Structure 1
Amino acid sequence: MGPITEIKKFNPFPGLRPFAPEESDLFFGRETESGEVLEKLLNNRFVTVIGASGSGKSSLIYCGILPRVRKPDLKETSEWTIISFRPGSDPYGNLAEAMAESAVISDGNAGSRETILKELLSSSDGITEAVRKLIEKHGGKVLLVVDQFEELFRYSSLGKSDSSHATTSKFVDCIVNSVSQSSVNVFTIITMRSDFIGECAHYQGLTQLINNSNYLVPHMGTDNYREAIVGPVNYAGASIDPGLVNILLADIGDRTDQLPVLQHAMMRTWNRWQVLDEPGRQIDKTDYDSVGTMSDAMSLHANEAFEELTPRGREICEVMFKTITEKGSDNKGLRHPSKVTAIKSIAGCTSEELFEVVEKFRITSRSFITPRQNVPLSDDSIIDLSHESLMRLWDRLREWVDDEASSVQMYLRLSEASAMYQQGKTSLWRPPDLQLAINWRDKHKPTLAWAERYNPAFERAMVYLRTSEKEYLEEEENKIRLQKRQMRRTRIVALILGIAAIISVGFMLFAFVQKIAADRQTVLAEERRVEAEMEKTRADAQTEVAIEQKTLADSNATVAIRNEEEARMQKEIADSQRSLAERNAAEAIRQQNIAIEQSDSAKIARIRADENAKVATEQKNAALRLRMLSIGKSMSIKSLQVQGQKDLQSILAYQAYIFNKNNGGVENDADIYAGLYNVAKLYGNVNYKSFKGHTGGIRSIAFVPGKREFFTSGYDGKVLKWSLDATDQALQIVYSGTDIIEVLGVSPDASWLAMGSSNSAIKMVSLKGSAGYEMTGHTGKLKSLIFSFDGKSLYSASLDGKVLKWDLSARTNTSLTDGTMPITSIDVSFNGKFLAGINSNGGVVVWNEENKSETFRVPTTGKNIKAIRFNPGNNTLAIGDVSGTVELWDISMRKKISEVKAHTAQVNDIRFNNKLKQMATAGNDNSLKIFNIKDITDLTEPPINFSDYERFVMVIQFSPDGEIILSGSYSDRENLISRPAHVDNMVKDICTLISRNMTQDEWNIYVARDIPLENTCADKSYNIQVNPIK
């Protein structure tokens, strides 16, 4: 080509739409195919051009076939009249309009759309008769081009009525009859997507025509693609860097639908190059990279249109795209063309509001949806995607399609369950299915207009859900009543035990009294024994006197007899006194034995009473402890339900925390945390912050080791530095450019920041003031950057499947994969011994770079793993899959330790906090969860759940001191939030928020009447305690 002297101002690339007939000079790369199709057409008077979506069927016809028909190389003198149309939802009407616009029949009313339509509908030979009149008037040949013939089947299925299917069948018969007859010189071309070829089997005549003459559009080769890139550029008077051409050819890959993606990327690249207004410069890689390359250009372009909408327009836009797309059985995105009336009904908007949104996406420079900009919109217009690749490449639409698919799946499950319930084949739903359905209803707010697309029994499904919810709530209320009844029983048992304790104390007191009485009897018996001995002594003395008197009596008989008589009497008296003394002594001994026995019984009774009292006290304290914990949880939940009452919300949440802590509750209880977190979020807390700086979602977070400072990267192309302790929203812009920084890493000595970009380069930024540098070795987006523990090396993983280990001093790399195991994301164990990676199939591989024999493939059959993370304190590996399940593996033992269903959608990130023995997970269900892993084998304790995100939670990080959990979401706002990792960090200054304590009435309502009122905050400290009974 000669020197470039003039550059044309138009854009030579059409974007997502096909080439128009007037753009045939810009159509390159299909010359051979054009000739082959034309030959089949002329030989058979009919040809079906079949190809995959995006293979260029329409462009081949309009710019490859029609120009040759108009200027044939054949020796023919007859002229061709070309009638081109798309069937849409009204094939007869659209054909009649195409024929009328061509003015092919006659002047006046005879050529009006209504007249032609009447002729077409008159019989199954309607097309033949209409063309016959054309030939009679003008002569020559007629070429009928039916573009996107599959619309007959797609729009027919939208009607879901017998009449729409009958219209399709009749129109097909018209086409077949026009080809089969020989009296009229009509030729027909139809273009059709290959995945609809099976629909044609329902029509025998059409099947026979296709079998006789069809052309399958082949996949373009490298040379053809090169012509499609370079040809339009040269025609427009510009030139393109050969290096960029090679990059484009590499980016196309082996997909069959890349042609429109290439055309769109080139359209955007040309616009970028033309805006810079440097005519002498070739189109090069900088222009291509600036628009996002083939992987991101379409997403960025579509997001531009989305950002131009008002907030209401964005809501309508989301509903519109959810309505015109769907997921197929193979989990791939499918187009679902919909009428304006249907979209309006689902979105709850006016025609004008919807048209305003549609116009943003169908302007010529975008052409994301059809009909094209030159076609007026009406309530009967059908809105459709220009190409399925938009679903694959526009990130926001991917999320919408996934979200809609999940919503539809839930509704269909609910509809099926309601039908079975109506037939008596199943019961009402219960958690977790019930809670998931309620969450779905509250989030998506389904309507009858939306639901009728999938199952018309909307009211039945909603009644079933409401009935399930009502019965469950009644069951829960009944459980609460039973718990209260059980509490009353517990109180009664405690009362009975208390009474038993009192009775035992009474027995003990009675035993003490009996012991005292026995001691008194012992003393009395001892006194009587002594008295008896004294009597005995006196009796003995009397006996001696009697003996002496008896001796004296021997000498004096008279006196003796008298004295003898007297002695006998004295002896009897003495014997009587001695017997009495002996009896008294025996009685004293008996009384003493009784007293001893009563004393032992009293001791036993006292011991038993002490034991019973101790058991009663322990049971009462345990019952009281459980009661206080239950009251605490209830107060925390009630604090969430109180609206707009700062003092009461704060007091309830704080008092719940006090009851839980003083009564030995779970250390970081999820219910207690929820109440205090709500107060912190509403009224402020030093550890709860929302950082404002990124205008797009967050891609990566990296803390500076040992500090409360961190770096973030986002979809807005920025890297920012923050401080957790800054009182204001102070930030430092570290990087801002067109490349999105996918992942960040900070060296252990806090000297270097590593940034992995979307263009496969690693940018090294010095944090100590020295010069930075860039390292290249990958050919795909960076997904992982991890410094070794000594800071001398850097591990990297990319979508190109390679894992590299970089020597940072030499700035060289070594590959850690052999090419047979493409790894896209990695993590390194705490001691650097093991590496774990996710391969391109969603599997997990663990290996030792020093000893390949230790390679271990984690069993993940049937699962698609999306997140991996080593516990920094040991060789435990956590893996998370697309279903929301997280598994913990002991790599040394090669066995699974535990498993938990953490999320209802894909797990995006996992992090460990060894300071507090915690594991955090983030997922596509818009939630972040913190699990207690003090016992790593048991993950049944309910986690702390943060579900207040607008979009997916992409990345999370614990601060180095373990006190803060930082999260980044996909949202454009409120996308970077720090929260306390432990409930204790939310109560330090909570009393500064509170101006009063509870009133007695409030205490009676939220605590209990029988528990004494205490001040929750007194001199900024609490003094509520549960005193155990002693």
Structure 2
Amino acid sequence: MRYVLIIITLSMALSSFSQKEPANNPKITELVMSMSQRSLVMPGYLTDLKALVARQAYEFWKNGNTELYVSHLNVYQALYQANKYLGYDSARDMTYNQVGFHSNTVTSVVFSSDPNFYYSSSTDGKILKWNVNEPRNIPEVVYESEKIIQSIEMSSDGKILMAIFYQKGLALIPTVQNPQKDISVLEDPQPVQTATFIPGERKYLSVTKEGDLILKGFDAQAKNVGKTALKVNKLKVDQQNGTVYAGTEQGVLEAWEKPYEVKESPIEDIMKNWHEQSYFGYELGSFAINCLDINPDGNTLAIGRDRGDVILWDISKKELIRIISGHQSTVTDIQFSPNGKLLLTTSRDGSARIWDLSDSRKLPIILDDHNDWVFTGSFNPSGSQVITGGGDEYIRTWPVDPAFFASRICELVDRSLTQEEWNEFVGINIPYEGTCRK
């Protein structure tokens, strides 16, 4: 009798287990994708309905045992487009996350040492300072020139901006108010291919038109610490070991192991060391390298190329980790998130993308609402927001977490889906619930 009871108990347990839903319910996943797409194609004048369908798709995605890898291609896009029309200013043709005022291509955005402010540069010759919390306010003009600003960079201490001009040298611009006026704009007229700050030092490294690597202090004293025969598009200095990386037009990644350390050795020894020991060149193909960044841990170099892909490079092993593909045109800018888990890329294909580096199966978040090439992008210091700029003269702000969009919908829409709308967009077999519970 006892054996019979054991068999019955096991049979009931197995039956109960077999009736449980799988970890990822494919029907709910399909519903999420369908609702997201229906929200995306819905006309903008159906503002509330477009938003509520996107919000309900998000609720199913987060709480319905769905396949989360569909999120960035479907849920984020639907939520963004819904929020775009909820915040649309028809008089000025501006969406809620759109910032204006530059009169030409936006070439760079960099954050201040204060996370509430960031700076943007443009080919209109201006550098503007923006308040993150008041994006529609008129920005402060911190620098203005007739020269074309190719890019800007912030010093490690956040006190100096470097503006690199197209074939016209560079300028060092203080970002702090200085009543004594003992620090003013320092202009270096020597034409450069590109330049970068030395981390933790009041020095910068530039590549002249002739290919010389020149180290300069803010007193403009110069030392030649290397040379290249290639055209350099981008410099990046490893703040942990001082290695200088150069991305070149010819597709070669060049590296100099701390060539600027000249405290004890005469320049002749440094040049000899550069020739014999400290220079490396890595052939990565024939596609131009346009942008570089090093993750916060200092072990990975990200390399953006004309091919539209990104190479992840192991710094210590000096070898390729993997290639990230997705853009349809040149990668123009690249940046790791502050925690190193995400990677932001911008491209001439008109989009920016946020890649989750912890899982290569995850689709990227695609930010594609610029009307021209996207030249620049930056995470804010907390990694919760991305700012992009491009050829359409606009700056756009994007939350990384789609929960921001979902929450904003229920702040702006004062109703839920009706039962009839639920039946049409969700289905009669799924119990009704209030999309925005108030």
User: Aligning the two structures, in what range does the TM-score lie when normalised by the shorter sequence?
Assistant: 0.7 to 0.9
Give the aligned partner of residue 786 of structure 1: 197
Instruction: State the distance in 2 between where 1:746 and 1:666 align.
Output: 37
Contact 1:954 1:969 in 2 (8 A): yes
Give the aligned partner of residue 76 of structure 2: 673
Q: 1:633 aligns with which of 27, 33, 55?
A: 33
Give the aligned partner of residue 269 of structure 2: none
What is the SS of the residue equivalent to 1:930?
strand
Shift of 1:1013: 0.4
Give the aligned partner of residue 966 of structure 1: 387
Change (3 A) 1:695 1:762: same
Letter in structure 1 aligned against 2:54: A
Instruction: State the distance in 2 between where 1:819 and 1:866 align.
Output: 16
Shift of 1:1017: 1.1
Tell me whether 1:708 sits opposite 2:98 in the alignment.
no
What is the SS of the residue equivalent to 2:226?
coil
Change (3 A) 1:679 1:800: farther
Give the aligned partner of residue 807 of structure 1: 217
Deviations 1:570-596 (A, max 9, x none): xxxxxxxxxxxxxxxxxxxxxxxxxxx
Instruction: State the distance in 1 between where 2:237 and 2:106 align.
Output: 23
What is the SS of the residue equivalent to 1:696?
coil
Give the aligned partner of residue 988 of structure 1: 407
Change (3 A) 1:657 1:819: closer
Instruction: State the distance in 1 between where 2:210 and 2:119 align.
Output: 26
Give the aligned partner of residue 286 of structure 1: none
Change (3 A) 1:840 1:670: closer
TM-score, normalisation: structure 1: 0.38
Letter in structure 2 aligned against 1:828: V
Letter in structure 2 aligned against 1:671: N
Matches within 5 A, 1:4-153: none
Give the aligned partner of residue 56 of structure 2: 655
Give the aligned partner of residue 730 of structure 1: 138
Shift of 1:830: 4.5
Change (3 A) 1:751 1:866: closer
Contact 1:688 1:979 in 2 (8 A): no
- Larger strand proportion, structure 1 or 2? 2
What is the SS of the residue equivalent to 1:755?
strand
Q: 2:350 aligns with which of 902, 917, 926?
A: 926
Instruction: State the distance in 2 between where 1:890 and 1:599 align.
Output: 62
Give the aligned partner of residue 270 of structure 2: none
Q: 2:106 aligns with which of 664, 674, 698?
A: 698
Instruction: State the distance in 1 between where 2:159 and 2:290 align.
Output: 30
Instruction: State the distance in 2 between where 1:802 and 1:762 align.
Output: 19
Give the aligned partner of residue 162 of structure 2: 754
Instruction: State the distance in 2 between where 1:636 and 1:905 align.
Output: 27
Deviations 1:465-508 (A, max 9, x none): xxxxxxxxxxxxxxxxxxxxxxxxxxxxxxxxxxxxxxxxxxxx
Instruction: State the distance in 1 between where 2:231 and 2:174 align.
Output: 28
Contact 2:160 2:172 in 1 (8 A): no
Letter in structure 1 aligned against 2:367: F
Deviations 1:834-879 (A, max 9, x none): 2210235342112211575353322223332222222233321122
Which segment drifts farther, 604-613 or 791-800? Answer: 791-800
Change (3 A) 1:986 1:791: farther
Change (3 A) 1:965 1:787: farther
Instruction: State the distance in 2 between where 1:646 and 1:798 align.
Output: 53
Give the aligned partner of residue 176 of structure 2: 767
Letter in structure 1 aligned against 2:138: A
Matches within 5 A, 1:309-320: none
Shift of 1:675: 0.6
Give the aligned partner of residue 977 of structure 1: 396
Contact 1:688 1:977 in 2 (8 A): no
Change (3 A) 1:913 1:823: same
Tell me whether 1:843 sits opposite 2:252 in the alignment.
yes
Tell me whether 1:1006 sits opposite 2:425 in the alignment.
yes
Change (3 A) 1:802 1:967: farther
Contact 2:58 2:75 in 1 (8 A): yes
- Larger helix proportion, structure 1 or 2? 1
TM-score, normalisation: structure 2: 0.85
Instruction: State the distance in 1 between where 2:152 and 2:431 align.
Output: 55
What is the SS of the residue equivalent to 1:997?
coil
Give the aligned partner of residue 834 of structure 1: 243
Instruction: State the distance in 1 between where 2:210 and 2:374 align.
Output: 25
Change (3 A) 1:842 1:610: closer
Instruction: State the distance in 1 between where 2:146 and 2:355 align.
Output: 38
Shift of 1:880: 2.3
Tell me whether 1:866 sits opposite 2:290 in the alignment.
yes
What is the SS of the residue equivalent to 2:76?
helix
Give the aligned partner of residue 818 of structure 1: 227
Deviations 1:399-455 (A, max 9, x none): xxxxxxxxxxxxxxxxxxxxxxxxxxxxxxxxxxxxxxxxxxxxxxxxxxxxxxxxx
Shift of 1:987: 2.4
Shift of 1:963: 1.5
Change (3 A) 1:791 1:601: same
State the percentage of identical aligned residues: 24
Instruction: State the distance in 2 between where 1:803 and 1:824 align.
Output: 13
Deviations 1:220-257 (A, max 9, x none): xxxxxxxxxxxxxxxxxxxxxxxxxxxxxxxxxxxxxx
Contact 2:338 2:382 in 1 (8 A): no
Instruction: State the distance in 2 between where 1:859 and 1:839 align.
Output: 10
Letter in structure 2 aligned against 1:864: A
Deviations 1:612-632 (A, max 9, x none): 212322xx2546x33223212
Letter in structure 2 aligned against 1:1000: Q
Instruction: State the distance in 2 between where 1:927 and 1:631 align.
Output: 27
Shift of 1:825: 2.1
Matches within 5 A, 1:540-551: none
What is the SS of the residue equivalent to 1:988?
helix
Matches within 5 A, 1:417-496: none
Q: Any gaps of 5 or more consecutive residues in structure 2?
A: 89-94, 260-272
Change (3 A) 1:745 1:622: closer
Change (3 A) 1:734 1:806: same
Instruction: State the distance in 2 between where 1:960 and 1:872 align.
Output: 12
Give the aligned partner of residue 268 of structure 2: none
Matches within 5 A, 1:50-449: none
What is the SS of the residue equivalent to 1:754?
strand
Tell me whether 1:796 sits opposite 2:206 in the alignment.
yes
Shift of 1:682: 1.4
Contact 1:797 1:825 in 2 (8 A): no
Change (3 A) 1:640 1:960: same
Letter in structure 1 aligned against 2:325: K
Change (3 A) 1:990 1:650: same
Contact 1:779 1:800 in 2 (8 A): no
What is the SS of the residue equivalent to 1:961?
coil
Instruction: State the distance in 1 between where 2:410 and 2:252 align.
Output: 51
What is the SS of the residue equivalent to 1:987?
helix
Contact 1:830 1:871 in 2 (8 A): no
Instruction: State the distance in 2 between where 1:928 and 1:869 align.
Output: 16
What is the SS of the residue equivalent to 1:722?
strand
Runs of at least 4 residues off by over 4 Å: 819-822
What is the SS of the residue equivalent to 1:1005?
helix
Change (3 A) 1:727 1:901: closer
Letter in structure 2 aligned against 1:968: G
Letter in structure 1 aligned against 2:436: C
Instruction: State the distance in 1 between where 2:56 and 2:184 align.
Output: 53
Query: What is the CA RMSD across the aligned residues, in angstroms?
Result: 2.5
Change (3 A) 1:837 1:649: same
Change (3 A) 1:653 1:797: farther
